[in-house]
Amino acid sequence: MSDAYLALETGDVVEANARSPGQARGELVFTTAYTGYEESLTDPSYEAQVLTFAYPLIGNYGVREERFESDRVHPSAVVARELTDDVAEWLQSEGVPAVDGLDTRDLVLDIREGGAMKVGIAAGPDATPEAAKAQLEDCPHMSDLTDIGSRVSVAEPEVHGDGDVDVALVDCGAKGSIVSSLVERGATVHVLPYDTTPAELAAVEPDVLFISNGPGDPANFEAAETLVSEFVGDLPVAGICLGQQVVARALGGTTEKMDFGHRGVNQPVLDYDSGRVVMTTQNHGYTVAEPGDLEVTQINVNDDTPEGLDSEELDVITRQYHPEANPGPHDSLDFFDDVLALASSRTTVTAD
C-alpha cells in the first residue's frame, strides 16, 4: 500500500513509497546525472524545487560530507525510482521529504512534454492524495519567489584563501566548488551577500567582480544586477549560470524561462572561436534570450541557447554552465584561469 503521493499541476496524482516523511511543494524538475547526487542535493540552485533523479538508483556509493556543495540539502523534496537507505536516512536527518518506488521515466517524460510544473507531495503513514493536492494549491511559481536570494546567500561577508588576486564573489547561491576553484588558483575570495551595495563592494577593493550561480528567476536579483551596471568597464566582471543571466540583464540583455531547463552532466557546448565541443555540467531553468552588449561565444549544441558571453572591450566573461563541475566533466576548468587573467586590467574603483 502506498504511503506517499505526488499531486501534479496536470491534475494527475502519482502514488509512491515514503522514504523520508513530510509534506512539500515546489517546481518539479529532473536531472539526468547518474553520479554526484550528494553535490546535486546540496546545490543551492535547487532551492524551492522538487528534484527528480532520472537515473534509477541513487545512493550506491554512500553519503560523504566532503562532497557537499553547501551546508544543507536545498530541494524541497526528492523523487527517485530507488533510494538507498544511506540517502533516505540523510534526507530524514535534514527534514526533507523523499519518495521512491514510482516510474520516474514517466515523470521525466511528463516534464519534457509539459515543462517544469508545480507539484505537491505528502509522504508518511498519514499521507493522502488530498494532502498532496492541498500542497499544490499554495505552490508559487519560481518567478514569484522574490526573496529566494536570502535563503541561499551568506548573511555576512566571508573570506577564503590568501592569494594575489582579490575576487568579490557575490553569493546568489554559490556552490562551494566555485570558491575552491578560485582559491586553488591563487585568489583571495571575498564571498559577499546577494544584496551587497555598491559602496560595500568598493570597500573590498576587488580585482574582479564575480556573480555566482543561484536559484530562480534572475530578475529577482536586482542588487547583483546593480553592481554589474555600476562597475562594469572599471572592474572586470565574470559570472556562472544565474550569474551569466544577471550580467546580461545589466548590460541590456533579456532572459526567459525555459520549458524544462538544462540539468545534468552531459550538455554539449560549442565554442565558436576554437570549434571545439566540450561536455558540461548544468543546472538552470532560465536562459539569456538577448545578450545585450555582450557577444555570444558559445552555444548549446542541442538547442542553440547561449552558453558563453564575452566582451573584450568591457572585460566581461560569463558561462551558463558550471566549469567547476562537481559532479561532471572537467573540460572547461580553464574558465577560472581566464577569470583571474582579467585582473590584469584592474583599476581602483569607487562607488558613486
Active site residue 141: no
Instruction: Give the separation between CA 24 and CA 99, rounded to whole angstroms.
Output: 11
∠149-155-159 over CA atoms, to 5°? 115
Q: For residue 115, which phi and psi values (nearest 5 degrees)?
A: 85, 165
304 residue type, one letter: D
Percent of the chain with pLDDT over 70: 97
Instruction: Decide: 29 and 52 in contact? Cβ < 8 Å.
Output: yes
pLDDT tens sequence across 233-272: 999 999 999 999 999 999 999 999 999 999 999 999 999 9
Residue 330 — pLDDT band, cuts 50, 70, 90?
A: confident
Q: Cα torsion for 290, 306, 220, 179, to the nearest 10°?
A: -140
* Model pLDDT, residue 205: 97
Average pLDDT over residues 10-28: 97
Annotated binding site for L-glutamine: 45, 214, 216, 242, 245, 283, 285-286
The torsion angle over the Cα atoms of residues 51, 44, 231 and 188, rounded to 10 degrees, is -140
The active-site residue, picked from 190, 262, 284, 322, is 322
The DSSP code for 219 is: G
Domains and CATH numbers, the chain: 4-140 (3.50.30.20), 148-345 (3.40.50.880)
Is there a catalytic annotation at residue 9? Answer: no
Which entry of 38, 190, 241, 307 is annotated as an active-site residue? Answer: 241
Give the other-Cβ count within 10 Å of 161's Cβ: 18
Q: Give the pairing of strands 316-319 and 306-311.
A: antiparallel
- Verify whether residue 324 is a known catalytic residue: yes
Question: Containing H/E element for 240?
Answer: strand 237-240
- Residue among 238, 329, 324 at smallest CA distance from 277: 329
- Name the grid cell of 351: 562607488
